[in-house]
Chain A
């Protein structure tokens, strides 16, 4: 058997891989944040009275969900320079992951908003709240409770799918592992070390998600 524990531990504890893991974390958080912002806007547009707004939102959601994320990334990174649009690696990753995620989150958020009883909106209106305040104070906090479990799934997925950023040369966890592997020709050890990081990150996120859900559920607990 050709497995070197010492190489494995070296990789696992190397600052290089740790930096890659950190890039994966912030890329995931940033992409999810962009996805939440753009996705909320798209969800509200899709529920708007104005048919043009609804059409724009539907078109956006359709287009982004109709193409693979990898294709979107290479178009952004290697395709666009041909027509003079040069984005750096980070811009490509944030735009690609953020806008792709937004298309999926828009549907999640829309479902969450629709699950809130109409009486809640009427009570908010009767108290003199306008649309924005009704959403911010009454609807979205309650929708969050419905949205967080599937949103957590998306976050978990993003931690792993962010490895696609290695294709556009983003120095995240997978690409860092690839480089370590080439350096010492210890391929299995390097990738297993990367896998251990992914396991740690998704497990940690699972715990964070559990706590967020518990906090959102507290007002609804019967005993």
Chain B
């Protein structure tokens, strides 16, 4: 009988934590397939969570492909999130922001949730490296969250990646509630005429270079994040490298996305994921998204105190200053139309939204820079 023990050795190695992680994996796949929530990342992560939680899984341990991908693609160099940034940069059209640059300020204000969440996490007793990593969920930007939590060597990298992508998918539910909490119907009905200035090709080409220089000089640690994002954008805007820009925005981004999700699942092993603190991290991620939105909205309300009538900003546009593009801009457009069916806020919100993409990577870089002094 012992000769057949190998047939049941896998089943005999199952623990309840593994089964729990299968359920989590199944939930992520269900959200991706049934609810269309960030399917390109939640589906690979969900399947990866099942893979790495099989007893004696051949994908982890020495020679295991997922462990190897993690070590090479994320642990050693953070290559995967950074390469994905080249693709994201090649996808982004900064035109709406360049023609209406004051939206940049909202890309800064809506990073408030990151720092508020760090404070909350510290208050709850998390060590600073984990508090800062939890806060970065508020960057509303998967690659930034993965990179910062990896560099800070957080104990909750898997939970942080899951939270970042899950809440990004939940932006259409989280943001309207947070915005309604801090605005009145009258404020949400403020009209904003859209009179964009024309943007020259010189501005479009110089923009990624100048952003890299400014961010790099003020927050040197942000150079990898900002630089790769802006490199992708330069490929797009230079007008001479269409084939490269299309490859970066298409095949490169798709290839990295396929493997990023399944690689991140390495951090979703039951032994590192199933603990009460993971639940707290997920809750903190929610706090981060809510306070990002509130930060952007309240900043717009403060600006309105100094703006003349007719020039006032619809505070909801401030809430679009997070990095979750284009979900956040769409949410604001929808909410604006709900209050007044002639109030089109989309282009303003798109400007704030792409500003949020710059703001989030700058915030990530600043946290990494300041971590040096805080963590010693």
Q: Do A and B bind each other?
A: no
Interface residues of A (CB under 8 A from B): none
